[in-house]
A and B are shown apart, each in its own frame.
Chain A
Amino acid sequence: MAKILADKRIETKHGRSRPVAKRHMPWGTWALTLNAIFVYTFLYVPIIVLVLFSFNAAKVGAQWQGFTLQWYNELFADARLGDALWTSLKIAGLSTVIATTIGTLAALALEKRGWRGRKAFDTGLYLPVIIPDVVMAVSLLGFFTLAFRQFQALLGLNLAMGLWTVIISHVAFNISFVTVVVGTSLANFDRRLEEAAADLGATPWQTFWKIKFPLIGPGVLGGALLSFTLSLDDFVVTFFTRGPGVNTLTTEVYGRIKKSISPEINAISSLMLLGSTILVLTSLWMQRRRQA
């Protein structure tokens, strides 16, 4: 080590490199780098293993026996999975449309100043973002049970859990995310543009559709994509609030895991991962494009 240091000093004298002392990485930087490596290892190694094994020819066990697309072929031939995917898309699609509409309106309302309870409403909206899924799921289940009993008692209506309860539940947690994303977009919106439009003769309605909406549009779309992704990926809330016979991709996968982890599960998971990644990246890209 001493020899290396000495050599470098000679180099420095010739003006070819910076003084050696500056090249030493401080302890803090070392620790942080190490930490980052660990974090990424824990995050991505399991995912990489999963994707790799979805191409593994071995039916059972963790032994690599060669590359195959067999599991993907089987997947695409599996009608049950097809149904589950279709159910997932229906839930995600409908809940996204509803949550995006309500969430965007909520964000617009929150932006207006000077009404009572604005702060409380704002804070309340963040709750679903931070509470555990299980708590959300159990409370929704409790809510539906209670509501059904009331409908029965007061109106004589017999309601039961089904696809629609899942959709309502997804709307419930997606509203928060949409509101947060659209809210960010609104925070970047220059309100003087609204005044400028009014000044040039635009009615509030024209100002909204010609100026405000086009400018926050990428944020709304980003919120919608995020909500679609969250809905597709959700397991816990769906599991608790679905009626009999409602099977989404995630509940289907869960049902199959109970038996054993098959290569098909790896293949479905890999595809879901791919789908979600594309959606999230698109959502981020949408929001970034707005700022550019």
Chain B
Amino acid sequence: MNTPTWAVELDHVTKEFRGSTAVRDVSLKIADGEFFSLLGPSGCGKTTLLRMIAGFENPSSGDIYIEGELMGETPANRRDVNTVFQSYALFPHMSVAENVAFGLHMKKINKVDVATRVKQALDMVQLHAFGDRRPKQLSGGQQQRVALARALINEPEVLLLDEPLAALDLKLRKEMQLELKSIQQRLGITFIFVTHDQEEALTMSDRIAVMELGKVLQVGQPTEIYERPKTRFVADFIGECNFIDGTVMAVENGAVTLETTGGVRVVGTGMFPVAAGDHAVLAVRPEKVRLVEGQQPQGTNVFAAIVERVAYIGSDTRIIVRLPDGSPFDVWEANTVSTLDPNQYYTAGDPVYVTWATQNSLILER
């Protein structure tokens, strides 16, 4: 018997489509009331996983439990989950109110109650004035809200969202992110949110599962995923990252020294068991790297470099420098001082020193 503390539990779930594997042996436990994101590039299997939870596809092997109940081949219409589709999938021949009421009508709830709850649902998404319109007469953002209201009115245990914000423009997307999060917190419903947008996942999620090629690579809170990625793929997919390949020279108190083929030595925090002679990669995020002009700073991880390109983007300045072995390196500096003085900014050709603290860089599997 499964304890019903998990809203959704996936137990070694695999899905194969005619010889290709879309989802590969995925096991996940998603808690009640959690905002859980499935994050990965297109084709990583995140949508297939969501569709299996919804009941549109059945796993080739493995089990899915919703609120502790084994789903097996239970069809979608008998699962206590609702989906917000990427394309919204609103019924074009029905009014907004009829769309929202559809789930309740299927449950044969009496008309008076349906009317009250439709009104509440439309109020929640601020569309009370639009009940009589057809979906086509609404903007993308409004259609999105109708889809949300249509799903939430059924008070499901779990709400599945398949890239619901992908079709919206940036500003609206940011607004909807906040709105979705606040609705989720207010209702206490478990949200499983599929997205390929890492920033969206970081902003909204309690936990994130990063997927690639049908596999879950890492599950964790946004900070864990960003600050302690377990693989090179995760580090690269979430945010920006510099990578330096090398051979392990020494391991000391968790600090691992790598030597590149060019003879440069770097030191980072070991994230997986390594021994001298192993191949590994050092990962350091551009905002954790400092540039120093003039005197060479002391300590490890200090390299002379030449500024190659400078991009001023307002909040930050993004600088690409070239290391002595010829490899490029990204550095972001926050623009903490307001100034128009060109001497305060780097220009191409400036000689600088690149440096970062050992604890701010990770040694990952190559």
Q: Which residues of A contact B (CB under 8 A)?
A: 190, 192-193, 195-203, 206, 210-211, 214-215
Q: How many residues of B contact A (CB 8 A)?
A: 24
Q: How far is the CA of A27 from the CA of B255 in the complex (A)?
A: 81
Q: Is the CB of A215 within 8 A of B93?
A: yes
B105: min CB distance to chain A, Å:
9
Q: Are B93 and A199 in contact (CB under 8 A)?
A: no
A206 CA / B102 CA spacing, docked (Å): 11
| Interface assignment of B83: CB less than 8 Å from any CB of chain A | yes
Decide if A199 touches B106 in the complex (CB within 8 Å): no
- Across the interface, name the chain B residue whose C-beta is closest to A201: B106
Q: How far is the CB of A1 from chain B (nearest CB, A)?
A: 54
Contact check, B85 vs A192: say whether CB atoms are below 8 A apart. yes
In the bound complex, CA of A206 to CA of B106 (Å): 8
Contact A193 B91 (CB under 8 A): yes
How distant is the Cα of A203 from the Cα of B78 in the complex, in angstroms? 9
Per the 8 Å Cβ criterion, residues 93-120 of B in contact with A are: 93, 102-103, 106-107
A211 and B103 within 8 A (CB): no
In the assembled complex, the CB of B296 is this many whole angstroms from the nearest CB of chain A, namely 61
Q: What is the bound-complex CA distance between A193 and B88, given in angstroms?
A: 9
Instruction: Across the A-B interface, give the 3 residue pairs with the lowest CB-CB distance, nearest first.
Output: A201-B106, A200-B103, A196-B89
A-B CB contact pairs (8 Å), 14 listed: A192-B87, A193-B91, A195-B54, A195-B56, A195-B89, A196-B85, A196-B90, A198-B75, A198-B76, A199-B83, A201-B106, A202-B77, A203-B77, A211-B91
What is the number of contacts between chain A and chain B, taking CB atoms within 8 Å? 58
Give me the interface of B with A, judged by CB distance under 8 Å: 54-56, 75-78, 81-83, 85, 87, 89-93, 102-103, 106-107, 150-151, 154
Most buried by B among A190, A199, A203, A210: A199
Are A196 and B83 in contact (CB-based, < 8 A)?
A: yes
Q: Which of A195, A197, A201 contacts B154 (CB 8 A)?
A: A201
B54, B82, B89, B103: the one within 8 Å of A193 (CB) = B89
- The answer, among B75, B82, B89, B150, for a CB contact under 8 Å with A192, is B89
In whole angstroms, how far apart are the Cα atoms of A211 and B87 in the complex? 17
> Smallest distance from the beta carbon of A289 to chain B beta carbons, Å?
11
If the complex has contacts A192-B85, A206-B106, are A199 and B91 also in contact, measured as CB distance less than 8 A? no
Partner of B150, one of A190, A195, A200, A210: A200
Residue in contact with B92 in the complex, picked from A195, A199, A202, A215, CB distance below 8 Å: A215
Closest B residue, CB atoms, query A217: B93
A193 contact set on B, CB distance < 8 A: 89, 91
- Alpha-carbon gap, A197 to B151, bound state (A): 11
Report the nearest A residue to B51, measured CB to CB.
A195
Given known A195-B56, A195-B76, contact A200–B89 (CB-CB < 8 A): no
Complex: how many Å from CA A214 to CA B94?
10
Given that A214-B93, A215-B92 are known contacts, is A199 also in contact with B77, CB under 8 Å in the complex? yes
Complex-state Cα separation, A174 to B89, whole angstroms: 33
Report the bound CA distance from A196 to B107 in whole Å.
15
CB distance from A189 to the nearest CB of B (A): 10
Residues of B near A198 (CB, < 8 A) are 55-56, 75-77
Picked from A190, A206, A210, A214, the residue with its CB within 8 Å of the CB of B89 is A190
Closest A residue by C-beta to B106: A201
- Contact status B77-A201, CB under 8 Å: yes
